[in-house]
A and B are shown apart, each in its own frame.
Chain A
């Protein structure tokens, strides 16, 4: 009975891991397996003739470097803006009761309800008018709009988890509201805020639709790859795909503890 349960349990774990890991593994294999490896059939499961040739080639292609820089710029701005706007909103939601609080909560989520496809044309027109079109900053603004609901709601739950009494104790012992926030609340919330920031970064890094619509020359990596991949050789595509996946995986792995805590999954 117990053995059966364990078997089922571990089979489940293996299946779930395989679901995620196998595709990533094959992408990596394609990216580093060299030109021949990609086309060989049947595929070898183990990496045979690994080479960095495809990756090197990919990185040397004109535009890739610039696209990566654009992506990083857009993602960093998104990260900064989401925290700068989202964390105070979250703090307000966590600490104050004000009329329309629940409506506000809902409204935050509703920003995600508008399909970007519908907004794309008016946004493009507006961005051209105010000169934001084809800039990393313009893309970052849209990405901020996408990441902000997440940042606000997650930081609200972060602040909610910090007992109000800690702040009150700080006031009693001579802190202003701001001092209490900086000395007591912020240090306690910082790991979670960092996790939120990284998640905002990942959202921006992975976003492709708005980035494709709103840029022509200054493409972000995702948008750039989308346009060039169709006419590239297969190993080249794998190299691009791998480069896109890696930062997300690394970041999510780095902050997994906080994400689990945020999503209410008990972490041991």
Chain B
């Protein structure tokens, strides 16, 4: 492990209890003036290491990324850079020797990777984090330390859940790990389209460990691939995919393959519960990382539209172009605000994260994919060419697609929300004494309580403090507050949804639920996203300046939320589009990211 920068290797006071991600809290509740929070400092440092993407001589620049993609390979120089940076340490809880403390900070760091190359993001990093959360949540001390050592030494972990026959329905996973004649577990079956399966030194494998039906029949197994007899393992060829061409998406087939005795993670048979709890973190984090892809797509589109002359002027100045750019910028901020609040709520309300994670994963990837597709309209008649900005844009358009179904699809997340909806309507939304989320949830950069993996639960129990925050904050908004009318409108939507969802019978909340019922989960997600945006506005720092002090930005974001939910099909009105367009231009010219952080980038 190298120590690239004192900025994020400085020791912090206080050892953490095991089972938490460690504490990053400053006792004063504020960061020392002049220093950045650890996650931002790390992301800034990574940006510096990546350098100027537009420099043709940069070994991790745009040209190199595209050349690797054309070859269907991971960018080797990029992987070396990330190893030197010590990216894996950001996946390992501080209590286990790593740097993982806050989920939103991990997203910040990974977003810097996704801005350069989504294949590096998924193929170097995200896959290992997906595997690791299972072990951080349910593994023994020995397993947690073993995986931490593996990652901190630069190794990889593959997260082997997926079987083509069962898609995202991992409760039907067919690969078995059952006792053989000698009592040891033996693997039989296949895993398919899994990142790094061939080259990862360590695997977290989801297997059926009991032939019985029900939700106590699967377990995660953690083992090193070197511990398996080679004759019992067959690697499958890489699966050809439309996007993420560089990521080694492999498959594996086991035939009577014995695994070491200490492989089972947590209590045998509790694998479904472990997955449903631990993947709450990745369902939030992955869309949050992918916002980096849209950041670069937006920058690429602006560059292309500025460089192109149409109808006697710059394409970027045409009213339709300005509208698409401003709306896409608002989409990015919408995605970031919702994801950031959900990531922070995992710290402040872990027992409710089940709902917020599914809501983010069902909604945000769709926003990102639509936004990249709309930007492709901007590149217009030259989009099919392989010249100028087009090749990078085409890659981003391909690479964003898997975010719709990878890890958990929109429908599978809506299916997870639906059974929790009637109880939430009857209990949580009607309880006038329920608590809202703590205010720090809505203050990006403010310290958070440590992440408690043990606090994650399968169900949110009918409680919804994020919706409660909407109701309470709207009620206490000052007269003349520019967002109070929006708050009241979303409270009315919550009241209507409460009425519609309260009596939803059990027959309508299963996988065979009608489209109407799925539509209710989309409305719930809309209320949650609106609450995230409004409360982030109402909790903005007193000294806020620039775009974070302009209510037009939040109004524009809510306007876009309404468009995504099919409330309307209106373009952003000029009074909202113009300030956003101006801010977009400022950030492009200054080389700043388009997300909430607004940090320097060479992407």
Q: Do A and B bind each other?
A: no
A interface residue numbers (CB < 8 A to B): none
B interface residue numbers (CB < 8 A to A): none
